Amino acid sequence: QVQLQESGPGLVKPSQTLFLACTVSGASAPTAFYYWAWIRQPPGKGLEWMGVISYTGSTYYSPSLKSRTSIARDTSKNQFTLQLLSVTPEDTAVYHCAAPKTLIPGATDKNMYAYWGQGTQVTVSS
């Protein structure tokens, strides 16, 4: 059974860079064989798709976040990462990593995902 576990700082100051990692575990889950995405949910709001990286390393980002977002993968560690630049309090959210069943940029319906991490709370505050 594939499992996804997010990790990173729970508190980040405004203007800093947020860095999160998602560790993939499971006998059949080498990161080279799936798509991997980051989705977040601000308090009181719906899910927001941030971006995805393909098994070939191609990346696709939300147009509203593209200038500040970078997703990468480290197959040796079975991890993929999220970097978000110049954070503001509006970036406060629960951040989830997930594995979509297929590449559909923008997808937030959980039924479109094979695997979904439990999420990690990130608060942006001075």
> 77-93: per-residue pLDDT in tens?
889 999 999 999 999 99
Whether pLDDT at 51 is above 90 = yes
Length of the chain in residues, anyone? 126
What is the sign of the dihedral through the CA atoms of 49, 51, 53 and 59?
positive
**Helix (H) and strand (E) counts in the chain:** 0, 11
Whole-number pLDDT of residue 5 = 95
Residue with more model confidence, 3 or 18: 18
Whether pLDDT at 29 is above 60 = no
Whether pLDDT at 112 is above 60 = yes
Q: Report whether 72 contacts 53 (CB < 8 A).
A: yes
